[in-house]
Amino acid sequence: MTGERYRQQILEPFIQQLDDEELQLGYFQQDGATAHTAPATLEYLQQHYDDRVISLGVQHAFPPRSPDLTPLDFSIFGYLKDKVFQRQMNNLAELQHEIERWVQSIDGRMLQNIFESKKKRVNMCLELNGEHFQHLL
């Protein structure tokens, strides 16, 4: 994926659905993928988040080998991958339908469990001064 496609297909729709409070108080964290760290992408993000972007190539660099505190990464993406690919799909429309179906299956109880796990991860990260802790979970 190019930086331009990343901005147009992922970042712009994401940012458009945020409310003012989320944009004014939130932080945006991403990894060091080339599309994520393209100068135009970082400039676009900084227009919306100022100095609250955590990424390679900005003031708040995403530390190498840092523990993952993002619920999408440590929980939801794995869940969706396991569910969506239980059956073979023949085209992009079928894939999109399966993703939407399983995203809609995520209920409040699951989200509550995920955010309880995030609290635990954040506390461990603080206690261990940012060192690895996944082996302690």
- CB distance 34 to 6 below 8 Å: no
- Into how many domains does the chain fold? 2
Q: Do 76 and 116 belong together in one domain? A: yes
pLDDT tens digit string along 76-95? Answer: 888 999 999 999 999 999 99
Q: Do 50 and 76 belong together in one domain? A: no
Q: Do 49 and 80 belong together in one domain? A: no
Q: Is the dihedral of CA 121, 114, 96, 17 positive or negative?
A: negative
Residue 62 lies in a domain: no
pLDDT tens digit string along 93-130? Answer: 999 999 999 999 999 999 999 989 888 888 887 787 77
pLDDT tens digit string along 13-49? Answer: 999 999 999 989 888 888 778 888 999 999 999 999 9
Distance CA 102, CA 82 (A): 10
Which range marks the domain in which residue 38 is found?
A: 3-54
pLDDT of residue 67 exceeding 80, the answer is: no
pLDDT value of position 65: 57
